[in-house]
Chain A
Amino acid sequence: MWRLGRSWDLEHVLAETWFASRPFSHLVIDDFAPNEVLADLLAVVDEEPVDRRESDLFAFDATAPEPTTSELRALRDQFAATLAPALTRITGKLVTRVDMRAYAYRPGHYLLPHSDHQDGLHRVLAYAYYLPSPEPPVGGELELFRCRLENGAIAATDCAQLIEPRANRLVVFDVSDVSLHQVREVTAGLRISLAGWFHA
């Protein structure tokens, strides 16, 4: 179902955008999947069981870390096969495989600021792909923070970029100690996404 559109032909332009973007490297690609496959994508996600997930950092509904249906596994593997080679060339970071979970943020759901970086997990790039919602969300923006470091620790943070969870938009961003980001609380509607990390 995944197919790279025309904007991916100009990889040098995407690479320039990647390296120039602030507060840390990221790409925002609109109209990522062909319109004719959106209904099929939603159908695959719809078949996957979701549970409420909660910690001090987040509250949302999500599928299990490993897909339970062969359809979502195939979607994930095809996503990696389609995107990983291009992202390796664009970002200069070798990526091959990818995680994929489906997320549903309903009113009151959030993901508080964190960096995604954890020793031993080898997450290289993070991504979120927003699916069309029967009730587009209010809130649920991806917020990227600028961090000031002192002696290797975060000493100041402020909002640098807000990315709307627009349907059929793909966001890819770098994972590091300072890739601080959050999903703002959804206050109405439903935010549906596929998200995870590219690994080496």
Chain B
Amino acid sequence: MTRLEELFAPRIAVIVPDAIGSALAADLRARFERTGYTRYTLLDRGSYDELRDPGELEPMAALIAVTTEITERSLVLAEARVLQLVPGDYLLAHHDRVHDEHHIELILDLSPALVPNAAVHYRRDGDVYFEVPSRPCALSIVAREPSVTCNHVYVSKLHLDARVVRLVLLLRDA
């Protein structure tokens, strides 16, 4: 896309509440635990647990179908990963890669409970233009552009039992 096309392209950034049930979210969390996370520890970029390529998951087809309908684009899965953040964890915006392929990013919140302030921020020129608050079972759908960066806000140690689990899917045009 040229810069002009990008300026006038529809900027999709929506949240679908209750995209899945809490029982399925619990099943997925248990499955990820069994598979096992890898700790990311380059602290100038982020601190979190990651599970790359979690495999075929039950809700994926339905999530892609919903996104296809909302975006009016024919989409397929390009990448999937799971992030888990506990108190003290974060993922900074400069750790986010440049998305010049115009992917659609889905984040399914699989956290067991709401975690105050544990949002995902989408930024343009450093300013937050779309906030995805902590909301278990909600799905966010955001069109990634080269000018957009994303960060996962620091999870406060004031909430000692906090646990944030996010399934992050990148969709590309079929």
Contact = CB atoms under 8 A, between A and B. Distances in A.
A80 to B, nearest CB: 29
A79 B92 CA distance: 33
Interface string B81-92: 000000010101
Interface class of chain B by DSSP: loop
A108 B43 contact: no
A113 interface: yes
Interface stretch (B11-19, B25-33, B149-157): B149-157
A199 interface: no
Contacts of B153: 56
Nearest to B151: A56
B166 interface: no
B90 A56 contact: yes
Interface in B29-61: 41-44
B88 A154 contact: no
Contacts of B103: none
B152 to A, nearest CB: 9
Interface in A149-188: 154-157, 180, 182, 185, 187
A83 to B, nearest CB: 28
B121 interface: yes
Contacts of A112: 43, 90, 92, 154
Contacts of A157: 41-44
Interface size class of B (residues with CB under 8 A): 10 to 19
Contacts of A185: 88, 154, 156-158
Contact of B158 (A108, A145, A156): A108
B150 to A, nearest CB: 9
B158 A56 contact: no
B24 to A, nearest CB: 30
A155 B43 CA distance: 10
A56 B121 contact: yes
5 contacts: A108-B158, A110-B154, A113-B43, A113-B44, A187-B158
For the complex of A and B, the 10 pairs showing the least CB-CB separation, nearest first, are: A56-B151, A113-B43, A157-B43, A56-B93, A56-B92, A108-B156, A113-B44, A185-B157, A108-B158, A154-B44
Given A55-B126, A112-B43, A187-B158, 7 more contacts: A56-B90, A112-B154, A113-B43, A139-B157, A156-B41, A157-B41, A182-B43
Interface of B: 41-44, 88, 90, 92-93, 117, 121, 123, 126, 151, 153-154, 156-158
Interface of A: 55-57, 59, 107-108, 110, 112-115, 139, 145, 154-157, 180, 182, 185, 187
